[in-house]
Structure 1
């Protein structure tokens, strides 16, 4: 069957967001960094000339910026030539998510974007070739962040924002109400530990983190007034035994590593837990069929290119295989899927 010229043209147009996806992101990032979206939130229905004056942009630059953001549906323009934020952007302001969203955009712009140019090479070599874009000598992104203070700040702002966007699922369905103690493996700047401690006042939480990161966690714990219930244990999760706890939490952690490393981490968790203890894997997941969701596929470009050798947004069934192989009861493995724009979920298993 021959494709009509009209349909052939439509098919090519369908490819435009993919072919020029890199440019689409630049409009989003520019709108954030230049303050366009904040300006139109505070003062909607501005003319192009007013926007240019407020953002200190030349007329040509203003034309380009507003052409892109409007064509992409990030801003809208009335027939009289006045601009305002599109509803999708305005809703981020009104529901309080805008600061978190911009932290995610900054992470993509300043840490992820350049390294993804090495995606093809990373696939060919089955390794994170994009790490070469990050200055330093550490074996992975996390060991190099301390050598790049500004990138470190961008990274942990992002991780805190990403966790705050997704944490309602973890707090509601992680099973922590029945726990007395929790080990948060690779707990970063304590964003999850603080949220858990505030939601469950009976919990005592230990964060296992690299020495370079622990000062960040301790500062946030002190500022939160929870130092009596959250402690920080310095160590390398791949080299040091896990402190004992009756829940072991891997939050946004097992997407980073390869199958052998994840199995080793889950075996470590199994050793640290008492009989009846539980491991909680909180993460983004891809579908078992390998066909989505789209965000899981796109986010896997980052994990393939940059942080460490072997990561991706793994499918649900793979975690269940690893947990069974690590010694957890296969009949006690559960899935909880988030009703969210992010592909988050929880897998739990009982020793």
Structure 2
């Protein structure tokens, strides 16, 4: 099928993506209600800080942050700094002494495979192996397998076409003076393809590990962009990045990782860019106060179960970028609950 990368979709697929992206959120809530009885415990105390919750229930910080964000975005708790208390909704329906307690309604899914995986992640901070290989490898290890990588790359590619087209439009002014984009962890290369298709002055290099690099070359060839997009094979953490770029694109990459790995990738971004070079982070972003959006909080539950990351806010990325000498720009919406922030190397 021939795809016109310059023609945006007429509709927003956000709802269709949300149906899939929220699939882990109900089970995570079921664990909070039926396994931890979290809301009753907070109610008995009046309020509780994050450290107290983590210590009492033996929960790891990354998944606990995802759970608390989901609860805030769902209107079940409200937070002042690291201190959390129940809302009226949470108090009436999720406390086991309330006449309106809905705990039994979640009983049928509290022991589901997904719920068991959520509890494993909450307790041990390890991905629960969704879509992993049969030997139990996590998603990142599974991506080294040819068949798995092909299926997952195709999955991301079909989603990325519309996202990439709108991103390319919204970035027009920011990349007007750029010549070469380095698309780090670029998957099928769909974001590079939409960028160069809409901006004739641009060239791009996609950095991907094997076997995804071969799949990216095939996709670039399918779009007829092989003269303007090259694909470099390499591990983005351990191998040198290709030089010559004046713009680095990190699209749907950082949310796969925790803060130490994010800092490593931002540091390498800083090292490869010249002064005045630009970076684009394209993601599903949480609000800075982590009270929503609900769709992104639900998506973060999926990510914490299948990757080593979660969804982050512009402020969280902004601190890391500033620490590495970048001047950070504002957040911009695109399509399907996604958006981007930009930064310029001083």
Q: Same fold (TM over 0.5)?
A: yes
The answer to whether the Cα contact below 8 Å between 1:115 and 1:131 also exists between their aligned partners in 2 is no
CA shift for structure 1 position 250: 0.1
Instruction: Check the 8 A contact 2:170/2:334 in 1, yes or no.
Output: no
Give the C-alpha shift of residue 127 in structure 1: 2.4
Q: Equivalent residues in 2 for 1:6-85 (5 A)?
A: none
Match in the other structure for 2:80: none
How far apart are residue 148 of structure 1 and its match? Answer: 6.6
Distance change in 2, residues 1:254/1:178 (3 Å): same
> In proportion to residue count, which structure has more helix?
1
Q: Which runs of 5+ in 2 are unaligned?
A: 1-8, 28-112
Alpha-carbon displacement from aligned partner over 1:116-149 (angstroms, at most 9, x marks no partner):
6511220221221x12762256964133135372
The alpha-carbon distance between structure 1 residues 284 and 133, as it changes in their structure 2 partners (threshold 3 A), is closer
Asked if 1:160 is matched to 2:144, the reply is no
Q: Which residue, out of 328, 335, 338, partners 2:330? A: 335
Q: Specify every segment of 5 or more residues in structure 1 that has no aligned partner in the other structure, as ranges.
A: 1-93
SS at match of 2:281: strand
- Structure-1 separation of matches of 2:137 and 2:208: 16
In 2, the alpha carbon distance for the partners of 1:138 and 1:248 equals 33
**Residues 187 and 251, structure 1, Cα contact 8 Å, conserved in 2:** yes
Residue matched to 1:286: 286
* Cα displacement string for residues 261-292 of structure 1 (whole angstroms, at most 9, x for unaligned residues): 00110000100001111111111110111111
1:143 aligned residue (127, 141, 144): 141
- Counterpart of 1:250? 250
Question: Matches of 1:327 and 1:181 in 2, distance apart?
Answer: 21
SS at match of 1:342: coil
- The correspondence for 1:313, drawn from 311, 331, 342, is 311
- SS of the aligned residue for 2:325 comes to coil
Shift of 1:302: 1.3
RMSD over aligned Cα atoms = 2.9
Matches within 5 A, 1:202-213: 202-213=201-212
Deviations 1:206-246 (CA, angstroms, capped at 9, x unpaired):
00001110111011111111111100110000101211210
Residue in structure 1 matching 2:339, options 314, 339, 344: 344
Greater C-alpha Rg: 1
Aligned residues: 248
- What is aligned with 2:61? none
CA distance in structure 2 between the partners assigned to 1:291 and 1:107 by the alignment: 18
Partner in structure 2 of residue 30 of structure 1: none
Q: Distance in 1 between matches of 2:136 and 2:181?
A: 29
CA distance in 2, matches of 1:134, 1:252: 19
Structure with more relative contact order (C-alpha pairs < 8 Å, separation 6 or more): 2
Asked whether the 8 Å contact 1:103–1:157 carries over to 2, the reply is no
Judged with a 3 Å threshold, the aligned counterparts in structure 2 of structure 1 residues 243 and 152 are, in CA distance, closer, same or farther, namely closer
Alignment of 1:121 onto 2:120: yes
Q: Secondary structure at the match of 1:202?
A: coil
Partner of residue 129, structure 2:
131
8 Å contact 2:263–2:320 — kept in the other structure? yes
User: What is the alpha-carbon distance in structure 1 between the residues aligned to residue 338 and residue 277 of structure 2?
Assistant: 26
Q: CA deviation at 1:152?
A: 3.8
